[in-house]
Amino acid sequence: MTSGVVFDIKHYAIHDGPGIRTTIFLKGCPLSCWWCHNPEGLGPEPVVIFHAERCIGCGRCLAACPRQLQGLQNPGCRGCGSCAAVCPTEARQLVGRQMTVQEVMTEIRKSQPFYDQSGGGVTVSGGEPLLQAGFLLELLRRCRQEEIHTAVETSGYIGGDALGQVAKFTDLLLYDLKHMDQEQHLYYTGVSNQLIHLNLQMLFVLGVRVQLRMPIIPGVNDSKDNLRQTAEFILSLPGANELEILPYHSAASEKYRKLGLTYSCVDVLPPDSDSMQQIASFLRKYGLSVKVGG
Amino acid sequence: MNERIQRLRTLSMDTHPRISVERAVLVTEFYKENEGKHSTPVLRAMNFQHLCRHQSIYIGDDELIVGERGPAPKAVPTYPELTCHSVEDLEILNSREMANYSITPEEIDIYREQIIPYWRGRSMRDRAFEQIGQEWQQLYSAGLFTEFMEQRAPGHTALDGSIYQKGMLDFKLEIAEARVRLDYLSDPEASAKQEELQAMDVACDAIMEFAARHVDLAEQMAASETYSQRKQELQRIAAVCRHVPAHAPRDFWEALQMYWFVHLGTIMELNGWDSMSPGHLDQHLQPFYEQGLAEGTLTREHAKEMLGCFWVKFNNQPAPPKVGVTAKESGTYNDFTNINLGGLKRDGSDGVSEVSYFILEVLDEMHTLQPQANVQISAKTPDRFLKAAARVIRKGYGYPSVFNADQVIMEQVQMGKTVEDAREGGTSGCVETGCFGKEAYLLTGYLNVPKVMELALNNGVDPLTGELIGLQTGDPEEFTDFEQVYQAFEQQLRYVVETKIAVNNYLEFMYGTYMPAPFLSVVISDCIEKGKDYYNQGPRYNTTYIQCCGIGTVTDSLSALKKHVFEDKSVALDELLAALKDNFTGKEPLRQFLLNRTPCFGNDDEYADSLMQRVYASLLQEIDGHHSTKGKTYHLNMLSTTCHVYFGKMLGATPNGRLAGEPESDGTSPSHGADRHGPTAVVKSLAKMDQAKSGGTLLNQRFLPSVLAGETGIERLTQLIRTYFRLGGHHIQFNVVDTATLRDAQANPANYRDLLVRVAGYSDYFINLDRFHQEEVIARTAQTDSMS
């Protein structure tokens, strides 16, 4: 049985595609966006997250560590989860666990009546779900067999024919455009945007249903120049004219601390709704249909 | 809301509740003069008539709907014939901080000198407690159950449409016909029926006299009124009160005034629980509304204004205050009038009309403590109506609550009602299912199910007092498997339930025999035809409910015992029992382990949910079908109102990690903070309870306004509700939380693990956010509130 590393499953997800959905988060991502709000999903392996506010100092974690590590976020940690297994308060949690397709399907089926009622389904997110393409494909195939609507949230940074394969078994792709400038894209996400753009063109040529989205990161990608280029690029795609813009939020900063990671966007302030509306109007001038997400 | 309604609303909101001794004085004077001269039903009817003739009446400025229970708005009468306040009770009510009722020293003197000397030993409560045995007293004092009938008359009554088709003169005719039909030769109860019917007849006269006094007062006021508009209004009030309740109402105004007189009559006669409810108000008013529009005598705005006047009347009637130790505790002014909107009509067609929509608007604009309303959603109910209700829910008032009309009907049919009658039924009080206008469905008290389990874990001893109050079901330390625990629980449950029911039946007999309600009996179907009282098998249907609390707490506790002690053997039984005795002192890691590593109800987890099903089956087994004074009328109800807090105070630490004294789980909701997989999982778990076999379940869900933001939020909420109802849910209500709650969530995050907040492009659990973002969410929430 195919298995993958899943780091979260959220029920009653109401903003990642139509209806009431279950969102499956797959671990590992080739990008490292400064503003990433799921830093626990970046690496492919399970990691230990530490919620200091829940710790009662019972010391069981220290006794359980096979590497006899001390300290809260020790660089020597290999994510074995022995500490999380004995932590009574769940202050230490292992983020990411190997799950079979069958196990994930069991979770997905739990919300079947809600999909039926709302036209919802499953959204696979990450991380970058296509990094676990075999697992993802198997999951999507099973959903299609059971007539469950599927959406996949992807960065589009994936080589080979994996994306084409996944697209065949996915009802909706949620696809981000982060920056049009290659250098800037590389600077802020760690990868070039070339492959992402090529893949997107391919998807539109194939006629795949893609919902385009753009996170608005003030000072990073909200310049008029970049917005104009984004609009022009979208309109150059066959049949594309819609974009959802999503305001940056800094809710994840605490998670970085809990994981012992550094947050790069500390100085960025979330855009207010007025500036989001201004950006939407600006983009609409080019003929785009723009929705402001929340 | 126009200026008139604003003024009336402000007056109602700003007036402080006070106790009026007028009713007590009148009743005492009447009883001194008349007791022993008449049969009990006739005496009660004449007592009611004495009140209707002599109590002060009130018509306030701006009012269009008239009549108060006491001499003025929020002047609350007492009912010494049922339960007589002591001087100390009155002083506590006058001085306590929460739910305070003021009373003057002169009135306390009247109580001391006139009321108490007469009623001590004569009140229903004094007489009942004289007879109740030691076993019951012990369980009652230990907080195993509460007793509904010791302070207030059984009630939870709602009306059907009959009072909009018949006036008191029509009812008098029916009474006369029933008296003619009495068969003194072969019916051994004929004479008793004759007395009851005579009492009903007197009660009809009494309420008409009460209305006539309002006619006189309105005419007097009109005569001296200089402002012409008000003069005309007073003249119209006089005309309306001349017509109703003697005759059936002819228009929208008369329909509201008709209901209000009947409402007042029932709450003047006795202090029945949950006062009285109009039932399907939108369905009852719809023909009058449409007729008014067609004739050009009514506009939508005027109808809303009339309803605003009507709303204020409910808010003017705070709940009658309690006596005894409970007077020290905080109470509520809410007397639980709960209006039903939507639902189905008698013929099975959709009950939603334009009136349903504007009553929702009135509910939203008035947002008073009373009355409250619920929406009855059937498969036939249009989504537009559910969405309109969701938009009010989003405002965060906590109402309207949402019911599954199809399930409410199925519950009634399951209890033996015809489907047509069931459709005319609905829910009243909190979530109680009943057949409006045709049924006495009496709540008899809450049952503390976790406390029953505590007895099983302590061989019948209450660990809080060390007294043996239950059965000796075995030394818990000798239990070697889970089945032994469960069997002990079931034995204790049987003992507690049977002890309660035996006393319930005695109290029901007391009411049926000594405290009949002839006025209420007039308006409840079949009482006249049968010649029997509301409390004595008169109504077409009779149901007796026991309300079971804390199923989440019990399920999770049993789950902890089963899993950790008997299956995984990760916790030793003696260690756990010792920790419970010590309230987990020095055992925080163990407590945290139990809290965090136990499969809990509310997560769509088979392990826990199957235990919930087992407990529910045991409750049904022990309660359903028990005999009352009216036959096999006992049924299970699953609401807790606020009793889960009191019961929690009376309960030691529990195996699910709950500390001693903390609240139990409410209604049929999961334990606080135990549900960690979002609302869909909660709904799935709840749906595993065979709710059709209950008389009501209660599910609280807490949301932040931002989760319900925009049309998407409304749509998803309605889809969540529809799904729950497709799965057989009875009721769901949403607490759209305020800042105070969020502050408390910051201080006590463990209690709020299920609190969803919308962060940005997604929703997350509030306590998982850092302080900064919590503050940010709080700021946003306040904005949403002020905008709404």
Using only C-alpha atoms, what is the Rg of chain A?
20
Which tokens belong to B445?
């008290």
Strongest mean pLDDT among B75-89, B318-332, B742-756: B75-89
- Of all residues in chain A, what percent carry a pLDDT higher than 70? 98
**A149: which chain B residues are within 8 Å (Cβ-Cβ)?**
none
**B678: which chain A residues are within 8 Å (Cβ-Cβ)?**
10-12
On whether any CB of chain A is under 8 Å from the CB of B681, the answer is yes
Q: Please, which pLDDT band fits residue B368 given cuts at 50, 70 and 90?
A: confident
Give per-residue pLDDT as tens, A268-283: 999 999 999 999 999 9
Rounded to a whole number of angstroms, the distance between the first and last alpha carbons of chain B is 15
Q: How far apart are CA A229 and CA B156, in angstroms?
A: 67
The residue assigned the tokens 């690029």 is A233
Query: What SS3 state is found at B701?
Result: strand
Query: What SS3 state is found at A161?
Result: coil
Number of continuous H segments (helices) and E segments (strands) in chain B: 31, 16
- Cβ–Cβ < 8 Å for A171, A141: no
Number of continuous H segments (helices) and E segments (strands) in chain A: 11, 11
Q: Given a cut of 60, is residue B330 above it in pLDDT?
A: no
The residue assigned the tokens 């049987």 is B494
For range A210-216, the mean pLDDT: 97
Give strand pairing partners of A290.
Answer: A243
Which of A13, A110, A117 faces B604 most closely, judged by CB atoms? A110
On whether any CB of chain A is under 8 Å from the CB of B787, the answer is no
Q: Please, which pLDDT band fits residue B786 given cuts at 50, 70 and 90?
A: very low
Pairwise CB contact (< 8 Å): A12 & B596? no
Q: Given a cut of 80, is residue B754 above it in pLDDT?
A: no
DSSP, residue by residue, B45-93: HHHHHHHHHHS-----TT-SS---SSSSTTEE---TTT-PPPHHHHHHH
Q: Given a cut of 50, is residue B785 above it in pLDDT?
A: no
**A37: which chain B residues are within 8 Å (Cβ-Cβ)?**
760
Rounded to a whole number of angstroms, the distance between the first and last alpha carbons of chain A is 38
In chain B, residues 649-678 whose CB comes closer than 8 Å to chain A: 677-678
DSSP, residue by residue, B455-488: HHTTTTEETTTTEE-S-----GGG--SHHHHHHH
Pairwise CB contact (< 8 Å): B589 & A56? yes
Strongest mean pLDDT among B141-150, B364-373, B459-468, B633-642: B459-468
Pairwise CB contact (< 8 Å): B681 & A250? no
Q: Given a cut of 80, is residue B430 above it in pLDDT?
A: yes
Instruction: Give CA B161 to chain center in angstroms.
Output: 21
Which chain A residue's Cα is nearest to B776? A251
Pairwise CB contact (< 8 Å): B769 & A254? yes
Pairwise CB contact (< 8 Å): B719 & A10? no
Residue B260 has what pLDDT? 98
CB atoms within 10 A of CB B593: 23
Residue B644 has what pLDDT? 85
- Residues in chain A whose Cβ is within 8 Å of chain B: 10-16, 19-20, 37, 53, 56, 58, 60, 88-90, 110-111, 113-114, 116-118, 120, 246-247, 249-251, 253-254, 270, 293-294
Q: Which of B432, B454, B662, B664 is catalytic?
A: B432
Instruction: Specify the DSSP class assigned to residue A52.
Output: G
Residue A1 has what pLDDT? 66
Q: Please, which pLDDT band fits residue B770 given cuts at 50, 70 and 90?
A: low
Give per-residue pLDDT as tens, A64-117: 999 888 766 677 888 899 999 999 999 999 999 999 999 999 999 999 999 999
Strand intervals (E) in B581-654: 634-637
Q: How far apart are CA A29 and CA A32, in angstroms?
A: 7
Mean pLDDT estimate for chain A: 94
Q: How far apart are CA B548 and CA B622, in angstroms?
A: 11
Cis before A129 (ω within 30): no
Residues 6+ positions from B352 with CB-CB distance below 8 Å:
B282, B341, B342, B381, B382, B385
For residue A122, which phi and psi values (nearest 5 degrees)?
A: -110, 140
For residue A100, which phi and psi values (nearest 5 degrees)?
A: -80, 160
Pairwise CB contact (< 8 Å): A249 & B709? no
Mean pLDDT estimate for chain B: 93
* A contact test, residue of B604, B714, B723, B773 with most A CBs within 10 A: B723
- Cβ–Cβ < 8 Å for B506, B128: yes
Which of B590, B680, B727 faces A12 most closely, judged by CB atoms? B680
Q: Please, which pLDDT band fits residue B757 given cuts at 50, 70 and 90?
A: low
In terms of Cα–Cα distance, which of B261, B327, B321 is closest to B24? B321
pTM, whole model, 2 decimals?
A: 0.93
Q: Given a cut of 90, is residue B60 above it in pLDDT?
A: yes
Q: What does the buried/exposed string (b/e) look like for B330-363 if buried means 16 or more CB atoms within 10 Å of the residue's CB?
A: ebebbbbbbbbbbbbbbeeebbbbebbbbbbebb
- Of all residues in chain A, what percent carry a pLDDT higher than 90? 84
- Of all residues in chain B, what percent carry a pLDDT higher than 90? 81
- Cβ–Cβ < 8 Å for B49, B203: yes
For range B92-102, the mean pLDDT: 86
Which chain A residue's Cα is nearest to B758? A294
Residues 6+ positions from A169 with CB-CB distance below 8 Å:
A137, A140, A141, A143, A144, A150
- Cβ–Cβ < 8 Å for B469, B568: no
* A contact test, residue of B770, B777, B787 with most A CBs within 10 A: B770
Pairwise CB contact (< 8 Å): B604 & A294? no
- Of all residues in chain B, what percent carry a pLDDT higher than 70? 95
Closest approach of A273 to chain B, Cα-based (Å): 12
On whether any CB of chain A is under 8 Å from the CB of B713, the answer is yes
Give per-residue pLDDT as tens, B431-467: 999 999 999 999 999 999 999 999 999 999 999 999 9
**B710: which chain A residues are within 8 Å (Cβ-Cβ)?**
294
For range A259-273, the mean pLDDT: 91
Q: Given a cut of 80, is residue B773 above it in pLDDT?
A: no
Residue B432 annotated among the catalytic residues of the structure: yes
Q: Given a cut of 60, is residue B405 above it in pLDDT?
A: yes
Pairwise CB contact (< 8 Å): B719 & A60? no
**A89: which chain B residues are within 8 Å (Cβ-Cβ)?**
592, 596
Residue B411 annotated among the catalytic residues of the structure: no
- Cβ–Cβ < 8 Å for B731, B692: no
The better pLDDT of the pair B742, B467 is held by: B467
Q: Which of B241, B430, B548, B600 is catalytic?
A: B430
Closest approach of A283 to chain B, Cα-based (Å): 20
